[in-house]
Amino acid sequence: MRDRLLHSLGDRLRKADQGDVMCVLEQEALLDAVQLLAMAVDETGTAADYCCDVETAHTLGRLHWYRCRLLPAVFRHTDHERASALFAGLERIAPPLVPAALRDEIATYAGPVVPVVTDHVHLARRAARIQDTEGDLAEAADLLRAAAAAAPAESRDQGLVLSNLCGVLRDDDAEFAFPSACKTALGAGDEGINLVNAMHLDGYRHVIGTLWSVPDPVMGRLVKDFHHRSSSDGGFRPDTSARALHGAVQSLRHRFPENPSRRAPFVHTGP
């Protein structure tokens, strides 16, 4: 759906660039734009906490900027606001995509800004949203692999610097985190700090991690069982995470009685 909407709006913008400007004023163009933005909100958060990828923001920004220039002054206010909010977001990570005619205005713009992120961050946000709302771990894992592949080479080479995480990962109301990669509860060498306790110190009340590598099937089994045990009335309850992890580990103990390394690496940090 997203690709279809981007393709449709892209065709209209190409026609407008060639002189057929009326196609961006058609009702269908505005409906596609509204639907595309609604998808961005639904895929990455809520109306108060979402983000757009660069292609979506640029396409929508150009559409509203075209409409703003073509409509009579009395009708252009909404399109001007939307174009400004989108290009203000783009200016922060991709300044060349902001139209030259708008750059001075965007430089002093103080209104609402649509948060625009790079492709790999957008894919990671979509993965988190899918895992939180649909519990589809397979699709979330596919999106995270795509996010890793889309990340710039220089960011992949830098590794994870814990000092850069403080105040970045946590939302104000965040209660729980489960960095389920290998050895997230194990420091490097003789270091006492690791990803799990760094996130706990950053404000997460409950954090679950691992002390050593865990096979994917075992991790998948535990995570599915954990979410089942920690959910009540259709919602996740972070305050039950320690007990839920204990129950899920006990299930692994019954499933793999002769292999304690399958169940032992999981740890919970928090109250």
Q: Residue 200: pLDDT above 90? A: no
Whole-number pLDDT of residue 191? 59
Q: What's phi and psi for 52, nearest 5 deg?
A: -115, 145
Whole-number pLDDT of residue 188? 62
Most confident segment among 115-119, 152-156, 197-201, 249-253: 249-253
Structure tokens at 19: 């002189």
Instruction: Tell me how long the chain is.
Output: 271
Q: Residue 119: pLDDT above 70? A: yes
Residue of higher predicted confidence among 139 and 71: 71
pLDDT tens, residue by residue, 140-150 = 777 777 777 77
pLDDT tens, residue by residue, 202-233 = 778 888 888 888 888 888 888 888 988 888 77
Residue of higher predicted confidence among 57 and 41: 57
pLDDT tens, residue by residue, 76-101 = 899 999 999 999 989 988 889 998 88
Contacts of 149 (CB under 8 A, 6+ apart): 120
Whole-number pLDDT of residue 192? 64
Q: Residue 53: pLDDT above 60? A: yes
d(CA 42, CA 44) in angstroms, rounded, equals 6
